[in-house]
Structure 1
Amino acid sequence: MKRINGVLIALVVILAQAALPAAARGQRDAELAKYIRSHYTKFEYRIPMRDGVKLFTAVYVPNDLSKTYPILMTRTPYAVGPYGANRYKEELGPSAAFARDGYIFVYQDVRGRFMSEGTFVNMRPEDAWERGGDAVDESTDTWDTIEWLVHHVKGNNGKVGMWGVSYPGFYTSCGMIHSHPALKAVSPQAPIADWFWDDMHRNGAFNLVLAFDFFSVFGRPRDGLTTTWPKHLEMGTPDAYDFFLGLGPLSNVNERFFHHEIPFWDEVAAHPNYDEFWQSRNILPHLKNIKAAVMIVGGWFDTEDLYGPLATYRAVEKQDPGIDSVLVMGPWRHGGWAWTSGEKLGEESFGFATAKWFRENVELPFFDHYLKGGPATHQPEALVFETGADRWRSFDSWPPPATARPLYLGENGSLSWTRPVSTGEAWDQYVSDPAKPVPYTEEITTGWSATYMTEDQRFAGRRPDVLVYASEPLKEDLTVAGPIEADLWVSTSGGDSDWIVKVIDVQPTEEPKWSNCGHGWGGDEKDKNAGVQRLVRAEAFRGR
């Protein structure tokens, strides 16, 4: 949700946080680690699934067994280490407050990863309940795990919660399908929903940088049970833009680097269209028979999984009427609500520690209410952060009732609320050179930029292969909420093309002030923001 107060532009084509000083953070983290080590006992189990496969599971139980505790679990493909009953995590649960609040924390390696038996399948199709018998998927593995935990872990109160961020968010979504009776509260956070729209693709456009970086490590098969990650691929340059320009065609990935040793990469390359391979991995149609309360969390500046939380919320609302399901969308990068203060991101400042506020006032009370019988949270159906105004807004539905307002591209780079009068055929054109592609970020990085959505967009609009359409200055504030759709009529001289559409808020342009101290320009913060082009939303589209 975005408030705009400048000029609208349409273009066709680091984490930063206000935090404690390093020494203070280190002391705080060390104190939490000591608290966990002295107040919890760690156990490691191999929990049997219905087909006989055993999944490695680490369980942290409070030492004070004078009362019972709910179980709070996450299932992950990213390792539950440190491994060993005498080696403890330095933090437990979604945030530091949970360890002191008192829960039984459970971490499980999913089937086929690290110390769990079985075969790993990326975005495993969720169809075991339909197949019946001893058929397994991530939903049945979750069901079997919960059944074992509530009967074998001492001190539990019979209630279970789940949470997970990103890929663990996908496993959290899987876990609430055909919910186990003990599962009472679930929070999929930035959950992957469908890899043709999340992460690896954007509306069918293949995200080469992210996919290459991720699968070069994650995609390598293990050689038996293991506690270690594969080695990271050395790219030989700090600049991904130069690296991928020099790579050449996609086939060179295997010839030069992967050598057909990463099976899922070969499958991705073999399925460029939204065929059965991808459709079967779309979890959204399977989000049914959910009985637990659900809180879906996402970030407006999530450059990896922004589609997932919004699509998951829509699916749960449609397919599971009557349950408590709510949406939280904040001004965060991927996972930023869990790992940062949320006061700043890249070049954007939000006025206060939004993530810290969420963890203390929304996330912890949600689990405390449903798992411990704590006070009602009175959380709205949709708790959404309005950037620009930098405030939380509460809505009874998402998207909220609103008036759709079309914007029309016009001649001479104009952008208007008024439909242009047709004078016959008209078009704009540009030359796109594959040898000099438009970068999505100015950041020099070998990976996928986490903050490019906060960057000043003038670097893109100044290129000759980008079409720019600008409105007249807005006379009053404009708040944009809900999906933005771009309707383009396009053609290409190539076999296929990717089109990128950006909606941009242009800040008022003012002449910079000059200091009188002899050092040139020295304006205040307002001057530094003059003319800045802030991204409202951007999407890529693949056309063939």
Structure 2
Amino acid sequence: MSSIRRILWARRIPTGDGELVADVVFPPGHDETTGPLPTLVARTPYGRQSFLHEVWLRLVDRGYVLVACDLRGRGDSDGRFAPWQRDTGDGVTVIEWAAAQPWSDGRVGTIGGSYDGLTQWWAAAGRPAPLRCIVPMAVGVRGRPGGRPFMDTGIPWQYWMWWFALTAGRTRQDVTAPAWGRHWAHRPLRTFHEAVGFPTAAWPDYVEGRIDCLGPGWRLSEEELAAVDLPALIVLGWWDDLTTLETWQALQAGPHASNKHLLVGAWDHVGNIVPRARLGGEDVSAGSLDPLAVVGEFLDHHLKGGTVPELPRARMWHSGANRWEDLAGYPGGTGERVLHLALDESGSGVLRRDAPGPDTTDEWLHDAADPVATLTPLDAFAWSDPPHDQRYLEARPDVRVYTSAPLTAPVTVSGRVRFELSVSADAADADVFAWITDVHPDGRSMLPAGFELEGRRLSVRNGPRPEPLTDGEVVWVGVDAQWLHHTFAAGHRIRVLISSAFTPTCAPATGSHAQWADQEHGRPFAVRVHHGPAHPSTVHLPLQ
């Protein structure tokens, strides 16, 4: 059999108000005359030919026709690209067009990750009849209930300008061209897009709140998620977009949970396609597998049937224990361990099972002109492979560290870590970020999961309506942090890190209550975490 794949270039798909453009790829030995095959659809803003890479064409070679389509306003497709705005109608049109072609057997599955996963959810919401299964990788679509902007945290992401630059114009842009590091401190952020040389309309839309990650144009409602009766394989890595697990949580609670499957491995965003052996300076090769081989098994089961076995409900890399596990669901634990943040006699931060006695305060100086920043090579990617060992951040005076005693027995945390913190600041507004590390006996403080640390802007502690801080008042904030399936080994220690900034992903707070995009850096100001009976601060660990 020939190894040559036939490609139909630039097929035009009518939408009623223009045309979308797609390439059609056949497996070796097949063309438009050899009989119908099950069909895969990928819809992307990154250029349809990104799916003509060998890593994706391996799926074609399993016996599928692939339709790779430019989104409206991208590549050769007509219209204007509207980022983060649901295009369910276009998704349904492409799927129905593909299923109606003589080379398709009428059964369609969708593939792709990140924004290409988002487009799958939007299409699935339209319930096209030919769609049999979806594989949305590394993207969340479940809204958050608090109604606050910026994923319900109140903290704007400066990173999004990088993504808007990538998708400016009609074709994928060279985002290594701007000197991102030099411009990252540009203020006011309202004109950030002009400073870096990408005058895209999307950044002003984000600044003014017309579009938002997990906002109205992005998310699916709880009712829509519950109505997704299609088999779905959710794929992501532990150092990836963990909002994906919030979507998984909604699917697990829905009426069609039994045909939803989860694959979580030791990789980052790009690793959903090709995992790396080393990540963040850490050898993660034991937690890598071939994600697209698992995707292929899932597609074969639902688009070909026969004797292809079903996947387990959840296949997850158990970090710390260093093994793959097939689980009946995730998270599956019912217990909880609460650790209290406190200061010992020397003033060092500690974590205790018992509540601390006297009230104490941990204070640092926050400077928006010199914020806590990961060692991220901005010209490559805005969160590209920063070190997992967090000691370089712990060395900063504006990162507060709380460490448990060495564990006498292993502790397995399975689920989402939550912080409940008592915080104050000498400013009208401030941010607080919190995360967990695993401290090894040799001193390494390793990040077990999460690249996009969650925080909370204090002015929106009670809801979307801003309430400026007054006179150093102590406020309570809850921060839902990392998702974990991790064992802290005996002899290791659990550590909590708290800061008031997390750049380059997030724009640092300036202490002002003015519109965030119009603020200058401002003066440094004090931020405090409080502990004790009057103002407790705790971390809640879900136990397996």
Q: TM-score, normalised by structure 1?
A: 0.74
Q: Matched residue of 1:141: which SS?
A: helix
Say whether the 8 Å CA contact 1:73–1:106 is kept in structure 2. yes
Q: CA deviation at 1:283?
A: 2.6
Aligned to 1:498: 431
In 1: Cα distance, 2:239 partner to 2:55 partner: 26
- Is the aligned partner of 1:106 residue 2:53? no
Q: CA deviation at 1:109?
A: 0.9
Aligned to 1:244: 184
In 1: Cα distance, 2:210 partner to 2:372 partner: 22
In 1: Cα distance, 2:142 partner to 2:407 partner: 37
Q: Matched residue of 1:536: which SS?
A: coil
Q: Matched residue of 1:278: which SS?
A: coil
In 2: Cα distance, 1:90 partner to 1:435 partner: 42
Write the deviation string for residues 118-160 of structure 1: whole angstroms up to 9, x where unpaired: 23221214xxxxxxxxxxxx222222222222222x3322211
Q: CA deviation at 1:111?
A: 1.7
Aligned to 1:39: 5
Q: CA deviation at 1:263?
A: 1.6
Contiguous gaps of at least 5 residues in structure 2: 460-544
In 2: Cα distance, 1:368 partner to 1:66 partner: 20
Q: Residues 60 and 398 (structure 1 numbering): CA distance in 2 closer, same or farther, change over 3 Å? A: same
Aligned to 2:440: 507
- Is the aligned partner of 1:301 residue 2:251? no
Write the deviation string for residues 468-513 of structure 1: whole angstroms up to 9, x where unpaired: 11111111222211000011111112232221212111110xxxxx
Q: Residues 456 and 81 (structure 1 numbering): CA distance in 2 closer, same or farther, change over 3 Å? A: same
Q: Which amino acid aligns with 2:220?
A: I
- Is the aligned partner of 1:386 residue 2:340? no
In 1: Cα distance, 2:435 partner to 2:119 partner: 32
Q: Residues 272 and 467 (structure 1 numbering): CA distance in 2 closer, same or farther, change over 3 Å? A: farther
Which fold has the larger relative contact order, with Cα–Cα distance below 8 Å and residues 6 or more apart in sequence?
Answer: 1
Aligned to 1:162: 110
In 2: Cα distance, 1:183 partner to 1:401 partner: 34
Aligned to 1:337: 272
Match of 1:465 among 395, 398, 404: 398
Say whether the 8 Å CA contact 1:299–1:332 is kept in structure 2. yes
Match of 1:532 among 444, 451, 464: 444
Aligned to 2:360: 426
Q: Which amino acid aligns with 1:68?
A: P
Q: Residues 397 and 504 (structure 1 numbering): CA distance in 2 closer, same or farther, change over 3 Å? A: same
- Is the aligned partner of 1:204 residue 2:119? no
Q: Residues 61 and 359 (structure 1 numbering): CA distance in 2 closer, same or farther, change over 3 Å? A: closer
In 1: Cα distance, 2:432 partner to 2:117 partner: 29
Match of 1:474 among 384, 407, 425: 407
In 2: Cα distance, 1:398 partner to 1:481 partner: 8
In 1: Cα distance, 2:367 partner to 2:92 partner: 52
Q: CA deviation at 1:217?
A: 3.6
In 2: Cα distance, 1:535 partner to 1:255 partner: 35
Q: CA deviation at 1:256?
A: 3.1
Q: CA deviation at 1:234?
A: 3.8
Contiguous gaps of at least 5 residues in structure 1: 1-33, 83-87, 126-137, 223-227, 509-529
- Is the aligned partner of 1:140 residue 2:89? yes
Write the deviation string for residues 367-414 of structure 1: whole angstroms up to 9, x where unpaired: 011111143434222111111222111221211123111111012334
Q: Residues 244 and 272 (structure 1 numbering): CA distance in 2 closer, same or farther, change over 3 Å? A: farther
Q: Residues 145 and 320 (structure 1 numbering): CA distance in 2 closer, same or farther, change over 3 Å? A: farther
Q: Residues 403 and 73 (structure 1 numbering): CA distance in 2 closer, same or farther, change over 3 Å? A: same
Aligned to 1:235: 178
- Is the aligned partner of 1:437 residue 2:384? no
Q: CA deviation at 1:107?
A: 0.4
Aligned to 1:396: 328
* Structure 1 or 2: more helix by fraction: 1
Say whether the 8 Å CA contact 2:390–2:447 is kept in structure 1. yes
In 2: Cα distance, 1:489 partner to 1:167 partner: 36
- Is the aligned partner of 1:121 residue 2:82? yes
In 1: Cα distance, 2:200 partner to 2:54 partner: 33
Q: Which amino acid aligns with 2:242?
A: L
In 2: Cα distance, 1:321 partner to 1:384 partner: 21
Say whether the 8 Å CA contact 2:165–2:175 is kept in structure 1. yes
Aligned counterparts, 1:514-529, within 5 A: none
In 1: Cα distance, 2:217 partner to 2:96 partner: 27
In 2: Cα distance, 1:492 partner to 1:258 partner: 36
Say whether the 8 Å CA contact 1:173–1:191 is kept in structure 2. no
Say whether the 8 Å CA contact 2:124–2:228 is kept in structure 1. yes
In 1: Cα distance, 2:55 partner to 2:65 partner: 10
Aligned to 2:525: none
Match of 1:355 among 267, 289, 308: 289
Q: CA deviation at 1:351?
A: 4.4
Moved more, 162-171 or 442-451: 442-451
In 2: Cα distance, 1:274 partner to 1:151 partner: 35
Q: Residues 102 and 495 (structure 1 numbering): CA distance in 2 closer, same or farther, change over 3 Å? A: same
Write the deviation string for residues 308-335 of structure 1: whole angstroms up to 9, x where unpaired: x212212333345265111111111003
Q: Residues 319 and 116 (structure 1 numbering): CA distance in 2 closer, same or farther, change over 3 Å? A: farther
In 1: Cα distance, 2:379 partner to 2:232 partner: 36
Write the deviation string for residues 331-388 of structure 1: whole angstroms up to 9, x where unpaired: 1100303123x433232223437232x433x221110111111434342221111112
Aligned to 1:89: 52
Q: CA deviation at 1:200?
A: 7.4
In 2: Cα distance, 1:52 partner to 1:459 partner: 54
Aligned to 2:307: 375
Aligned to 2:192: 253
Q: CA deviation at 1:418?
A: 2.0
In 1: Cα distance, 2:284 partner to 2:176 partner: 36
In 2: Cα distance, 1:335 partner to 1:255 partner: 28
Q: TM-score, normalised by structure 2?
A: 0.74
Q: Which amino acid aligns with 2:341?
A: L
In 1: Cα distance, 2:155 partner to 2:210 partner: 9
In 2: Cα distance, 1:170 partner to 1:403 partner: 33
In 2: Cα distance, 1:292 partner to 1:380 partner: 16
Q: CA deviation at 1:203?
A: 2.9
Q: Matched residue of 1:500: which SS?
A: strand
Q: CA deviation at 1:539?
A: 2.7
Q: CA deviation at 1:273?
A: 11
Q: Matched residue of 1:46: which SS?
A: strand
Q: CA deviation at 1:282?
A: 2.1
Q: CA deviation at 1:249?
A: 2.7
Say whether the 8 Å CA contact 1:178–1:291 is kept in structure 2. no
- Is the aligned partner of 1:321 residue 2:256? yes
Q: Residues 202 and 336 (structure 1 numbering): CA distance in 2 closer, same or farther, change over 3 Å? A: farther
Aligned to 1:310: 245
In 2: Cα distance, 1:402 partner to 1:343 partner: 33
Write the deviation string for residues 410-448 of structure 1: whole angstroms up to 9, x where unpaired: 12334334232443x432211112222111226575641
Aligned to 2:509: none
Q: Residues 353 and 539 (structure 1 numbering): CA distance in 2 closer, same or farther, change over 3 Å? A: closer
- Is the aligned partner of 1:55 residue 2:15? no
Aligned to 1:516: none
Q: Residues 280 and 98 (structure 1 numbering): CA distance in 2 closer, same or farther, change over 3 Å? A: closer
Aligned to 2:500: none
Q: Matched residue of 1:355: which SS?
A: coil
Q: Matched residue of 1:173: which SS?
A: helix
Write the deviation string for residues 183-234 of structure 1: whole angstroms up to 9, x where unpaired: 112110012426999x9768332221x222222242x345xxxxx4456474
Aligned to 2:385: 451
